[in-house]
């Protein structure tokens, strides 16, 4: 019997355990990026260590990517289907709403390549823009 959540995990070569299915379900249902504490709060019967281990596995396998939005907590968001364990392709802008404090992926807005002087070797680039999300901007 086909199960879309299981298929998503198997496609990324992650064995579908009950906890992994629960965490994936939470991530799919909440389009904004979630912190470890957010995921833990949404799962009633999970301890932080297990959730953390699950998110690390997802990150290592190319299922989620980490978002550092300056709020202090690392957040996690679902990857684009082309991400693999060896390479993430989520070089997009993230948007932090200063009102509802949700962070969203903007997969249609790629991070531009910024040339650096001399011997600097870039390992990671992240671009977070801050302001009002469409929902909050509409309410203002």
Residues at the interface with Zn ion (CB under 5 A):
65, 77, 79, 83, 88, 90, 97, 99-100, 105, 133, 136
Q: Which helix (H) or strand (E) holds 10?
A: helix 4-11
Neighbours of 105 (CB within 10 A): 20
Q: Give least dist CB 29 to Zn ion, A.
A: 17
Nearer residue to Zn ion within complex by CB, 41 or 100: 100
Contact 111, 91 (CB under 8 A): yes
Pick between residue 47 and residue 109 the one whose CB is nearest to Zn ion.
109
Structure tokens belonging to residue 46: 């999970």
In the complex with Zn ion, which residue's Cβ is closer, 46 or 59? 59
């Amino acid at each position: 019997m086909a199960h879309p959540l299981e298929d998503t995990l198997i496609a990324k070569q992650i064995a579908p355990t009950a906890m992994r299915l629960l965490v994936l379900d939470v991530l799919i249902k909440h389009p904004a990026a979630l912190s470890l504490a957010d995921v833990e709060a949404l799962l009633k019967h999970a301890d932080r260590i297990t959730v953390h281990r699950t998110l690390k596995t997802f990150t290592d396998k190319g299922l989620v990517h980490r978002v550092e939005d300056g709020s202090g907590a690392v957040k996690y968001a679902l990857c684009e289907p082309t991400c693999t364990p060896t390479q993430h392709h989520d070089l997009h802008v993230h948007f932090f709403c200063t009102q509802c404090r949700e962070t969203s992926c903007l997969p249609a807005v790629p991070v531009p390549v910024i040339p650096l002087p001399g011997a600097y070797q870039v390992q990671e680039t992240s671009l977070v823009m801050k302001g009002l999300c469409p929902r909050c901007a509409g309410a203002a």
